[in-house]
Structure 1
Amino acid sequence: MGIDGNTNGVGKVGPAAATARELLRVPLLPEEQCRPAATVCVTGATGYVAGPIIARLLAAGHRVRATARDTSPSQPAVAALLALPGASERLQLFAADLLQLGSFDEAVAGCDVVIHTASPFALSVGRGQARRLLLEPAVRGVENVIGAVNRSPCVRRVVLTSSIAATCARADDHHPRPRAHKASPSAATTAVASEAGAASGSSKSDDPLLRDTNIAAPPDGPTDAPSSVSTSLEAGSGGSGGSESGATAGGGASGGHQGGGEDGVIDERHWNNVASEDFLPYSWSKTEAERRAWELAAQQDRWRLVSVLPGFVLGPCVGGGGGRSRSESVMLLRRLCEGAMWPAAPNMGLATADVRDVAAAHCRAALLPGASGRYLVVGGGTRMWRLTALVAALYPGGAVRRSVAVAPRALVAALGPAVLHLGSDVVEATWGPPPRFSTRRAAEELGLRSWVPLEESLRDMVEDLASKGLVRHPLSRGGIVLGKQAAWLLALGLVVLLAVVFGAAAALRTLRG
């Protein structure tokens, strides 16, 4: 049974209201405010990405039916959603579980569009836990949501939150024409393909959401390569010295060369054929979940699948506390503000996306008539050691100081799980500059021709999370914070350095003797 947005006595709503003013940083297009208003189901409502999507849909006048595992108004994330402008009239919450067959049926019934964001996100899991914690909920969640879609004849479009992790594993992982791959049922998942394939009302529709394009793109995605790409991040980067790689093409990009898979540029044709249960399991789960979605979409012709593939998401969130305090994005910023990246930080690359750009991409993919296929959403690129310089520059004299050295790769790989909560495989795959991604399709078809600058994403995220008590504000009293983990990293680094020096000296004495 759904919970209406007019629930009384929700508790604290101040931070949510303050954040709501920032969530429309990317302007609404007229097409997003289409009439009559659409009814949109958003899964994973209390997640980092879903909150701004819901806020944007409500601001555009649409009705939202959102799902979460726990819809109690006493939960901070739920209370924040219920406090959004328009929620009291047009937001309903439904309890649903990715692994529970049929649990999405009530929320999806009567919807025009389903935006499926719910999926586990963890960059480090215990040995032997990846299949249970990541793959099963990701793939079975896709199957269960699409099963509900096929049982609801009103749905005309499904938007899936995928990830750039589904396109490549490393910066040098670029193959112009990746091999075709057909998703096969996993022993760890209970296949519900027969249910998902039993689409009701499978005849093609004249609905505007299905106009002008094919229902489903092939598994390899669009075949048109970008005509030009930029080697810099001038488009939407705000002239930042912190952006070095990540997004190419799109409005405003200057210079460039021919490419699209060639020359190391990743586009929508690419699939991650490297990740596995033992190497980058999160990337593995996102890749297999998206492949499964395209496989199920190809079995019918009533609704169209569109997938959005964002980079590492930064920016303000709706509400605070609860699960959001454990999100990978929040944990990264918390570790930075606590001193875990001072005096040395890893040389790990991040292709980033502001959560408001990601929300705009989802809403436009859901509502623009011509949207189809896959869309990469990457606003910039940086490295972890540069993040400290950016935050330090935003808050001069504050507690966050820029890293003065790059931590040795072997040391980061060894201590990654304890200090950064990252597996050694993630350290290996992301060491160095991030991959370059073509965002031409998002620019031309979704109107995303500029991106929220990385500095703005970081500033808004710091202010937002600090106001909710999730991170320590860089300008708060108390001086420099050297966290326990950073202290251990520094101490161990000094021990390793001394061992190398004394070892070299001993070897030199032996040679002379």
Structure 2
Amino acid sequence: MQSFDQTLPILITGGSGYLASWIVKYLVEAGYYVRTTVRSLKDERKIGHLRRIAAAGPGRLEFYEADLMRHGDFNTPMRGCEIVIHTASPFLLGKINNPQQQLIDPALEGTKNVLYSASEIKSVRRVVYTSSAVAIYAEAREIMDQPKGTFTEQNWNLISDLQYDPYAYSKTLAEKEAWVIAQSQKQWDLVTINPTFLLGPTLSGRTDNVSISTIQQLMNGELRQGAPQLYFGVADVRDAAQAHLLAAFTPEASGRYLISAQTMSILEMAEIMRDHFGEAFKLPKKPISNWLLYLIGPWLGFNHRFLRGNLGYVPQFDASRSIEELGLSYRPVEETIVDTVEGLAE
């Protein structure tokens, strides 16, 4: 167990991201000295919202350019920090032409570069690492093999590979590498946060992530003929951000923390939207038949292997460690979905 000097700078890698922006916001609002790395200081579309957060204070926010693929890029922003929150990770929507080059290499090399810097910078004492529930499971049907019918932090994704869900594969490999590096030294300790499907308002206004795009599909009427019978663990991005801060500042925090408020189907999300917004959106009122989904699935982005492994299965997640050890409180999912829609509508 160790305590941390909260007057020292705290580094957030990839601070312009959906989740990281909330971490930065909460720290700056609480008066902390925050450093964040971004790919480019010239891209105001991606960092303008962070500048506004910094201007609102009362904390201090400094920006640094850093590339996940360049060793040593994180040394300067990390110098003098006891706590590093590593959120930066490659995430791509759309067609992946070269998963090894676009996803696997950046995830692995980025993890190595940040954690090797943590070992080189002797002030670092804790690293909080953003992993994902996709490093815990690959397909919802795996729930049938769980002794208590729930996924826990003990589970690892053993199915995804370079061809099948390379993003999940990249997150799994990267987190495993993080644990190997952490266990090879004694200077700093590692805590990982493994969120399920994140929803909630976006500070940047950007919508280039899968969770937000799913709500957009509902708002745009793309699923009005019927909702796929797919179920996800859902958590609020603001709660996930708080989980990172609790993991950073709770001396006894250790290991992996699965972050999930509730399991929901796409149709249940649509029903919450209808209850709050009436007929403002062309929402599905029933599930789409499985045979039809297999027929049109590829046009919606669902390949047949994914459908076989997920369609109709209801995964459950044991997030009790996040509540009991970190003291995390979860918002109702209804609030999360409403806030997401209202933010997108603006």
Tell me the TM-score normalised to structure 1 length: 0.63
Does residue 1:452 correspond to 2:337, yes or no? no
Which residue in 2 is equivalent to 1:380? Answer: 262
Contact 2:5 2:82 in 1 (8 A): no
Corresponding residue for residue 363 of structure 1: 245
SS at match of 1:438: coil
SS, match of residue 23 in structure 2: helix
Q: Residues 48-103 of structure 1: CA distance to partner in whole angstroms, max 9, x if unpaired?
A: 1100011111122221110111222x513311111116557510111111112222
Q: Give CA deviations for 1:142-186 in whole Å, capped at 9, x if unaligned.
A: 01111211111111000111111111122332598xxxxxxxxxx
Match status 1:56 vs 2:12: no
Q: 1:382 to 1:327 in 2, by over 3 A?
A: same
Q: Distance in 2 between matches of 1:135 and 1:87?
A: 37
Kept in 2, the 8 Å contact 1:383–1:433? The answer is no
Question: CA–CA distance in 2 between the matches of 1:95 and 1:63?
Answer: 17
Distance 1:174 1:385, change over 3 A: closer
C-alpha distance 339-149 of structure 1, shift in aligned 2 (>3 A): same
Cα deviation for residue 329 of structure 1 reads 1.9
Change (3 A) 1:123 1:347: farther
Taking the aligned partners of 2:121 and 2:303, their CA distance within structure 1 comes to: 41
2:79 to 100, 109, 121: 109
Q: Measure the CA separation in 1 of the matches of 2:209 and 2:183.
A: 33
Structure 2 residue 154 is the aligned partner of structure 1 residue 273: no
Q: Which amino acid aligns with 2:99?
A: A
**Would you say the 8 A contact 1:166–1:271 is kept in 2?**
yes
Q: Distance in 2 between matches of 1:132 and 1:451?
A: 36
Give 1:309's aligned residue.
194
5 Å matches for 1:56-135?
A: 56-72=26-42, 75-84=44-53, 87=57, 90-122=60-92, 125-126=95-96, 129-135=98-104
1:453-498 CA deviation, whole Å, 9 max, x = no partner? 111111111111222xxxxxxxxxxxxxxxxxxxxxxxxxxxxxxx
Separation in 1 of the partners of 2:308 and 2:247?
Answer: 33
Residue 332 (1) aligns with residue 214 (2): yes
1:346 to 218, 228, 231: 228
Look at both structures and tell me which one has the larger radius of gyration over its CA atoms: 1
Structure 1 partner of 2:141: 172
- 5+ unaligned residues in a row in structure 1: which ranges? 1-31, 177-260, 468-513
Tell me, in whole angstroms, the C-alpha distance in 2 between the residues paired with 1:37 and 1:400.
50
Q: For the residues of structure 2 that align with 1:389 and 1:446, how far apart are their CA atoms?
A: 32
Provide closer, same or farther for how the CA distance between residues 417 and 108 of structure 1 changes in structure 2, counting only shifts above 3 A. Answer: farther
Q: Return the letter of the residue paired with 1:42.
A: I
Taking the aligned partners of 1:375 and 1:356, their CA distance within structure 2 comes to 16
Mapping for residues 153-192 of structure 1, pairs under 5 Å: 153-174=122-143
CA distance in 1, matches of 2:174, 2:194: 12
Q: Quote the Cα distance in structure 1 between the aligned partners of 2:184 and 2:292.
A: 48
Ranges in structure 2 where 5+ consecutive residues have no aligned partner? none
CA distance in 1, matches of 2:302, 2:109: 25
Say whether residues 1:291 and 2:153 are aligned partners.
no
Indicate whether 1:395 and 2:283 are aligned.
no
The correspondence for 1:443, drawn from 316, 323, 339, is: 323
Asked if 2 retains the 8 angstrom alpha-carbon contact of 1:123 and 1:282, the reply is no
The one-character-per-residue Cα deviations of 1:372-407 (angstroms, maximum 9, x if unpaired) are 100000011111122211111111232233x23322
In structure 1, give the amino acid aligned to 2:331. Answer: V
Identify if the C-alpha distance between structure 1 residues 366 and 458 changes in structure 2 by more than 3 Å, giving closer, same or farther: same
Contact 1:40 1:113 in 2 (8 A): yes
Measured after TM superposition, the shift of residue 347 of structure 1 is: 0.6
Inter-partner Cα distance in structure 1 for 2:100 and 2:18: 23
Question: For the residues of structure 1 that align with 2:80 and 2:144, how far apart are their CA atoms?
Answer: 42
Q: 1:171 to 1:148 in 2, by over 3 A?
A: same
Partners in 2 of 1:123 and 1:271 — Cα distance?
Answer: 24
Maintained 8 Å contact 2:29/2:59: no
Q: Which residue does 1:46 correspond to in 2?
A: 16
Residue identity in the other structure for 1:447: G
Residue equivalent to 1:407:
288
1 CA distance for matches of 2:290 and 2:144? 26
Tell me the SS of whatever aligns to 2:317: strand
Among 185, 188, 194, the alignment partner of 1:300 is: 185
1:139 paired residue among 84, 108, 121: 108
Question: CA–CA distance in 1 between the matches of 2:80 and 2:304?
Answer: 45
In 2, Cα distance between equivalents of 1:131 and 1:165: 17
Distance 1:389 1:68 in 2: 38
| Alpha-carbon spacing, 1:35–1:60, altered in 2? closer, same or farther (3 Å) | farther
- Greater helix percent: which structure? 2
* Cα distance, 1:410 vs structure 2: 4.5
Deviations, residues 382-439 of structure 1 (Å, cap 9, x unaligned):
11122211111111232233x23322334434544533x4444443333224311111
Q: Which amino acid counterpart does residue 304 of structure 1 have in structure 2?
A: D
Amino acid at match of 2:290: R
Deviation at 1:314, TM superposition (A): 0.1
RMSD: 2.2
What percent of counterpart residues are identical? Answer: 34
Residue identity opposite 2:210 in structure 1:
E
Q: CA deviation at 1:308?
A: 0.3
Tell me, in whole angstroms, the C-alpha distance in 2 between the residues paired with 1:415 and 1:139: 35
Structure 1 residue identity aligned to 2:330? W
Aligned counterparts of 2:221 and 2:258: Cα–Cα separation in 1: 32
Contact 1:37 1:61 in 2 (8 A): no
CA distance in 2, matches of 1:326, 1:135: 20
Give the aligned residue type for 1:408: S
- C-alpha displacement of 1:312: 0.5
Q: Compute the TM-score of the two structures, normalised by the length of structure 2.
A: 0.92
Query: Counterpart amino acid of 1:282?
Result: Y
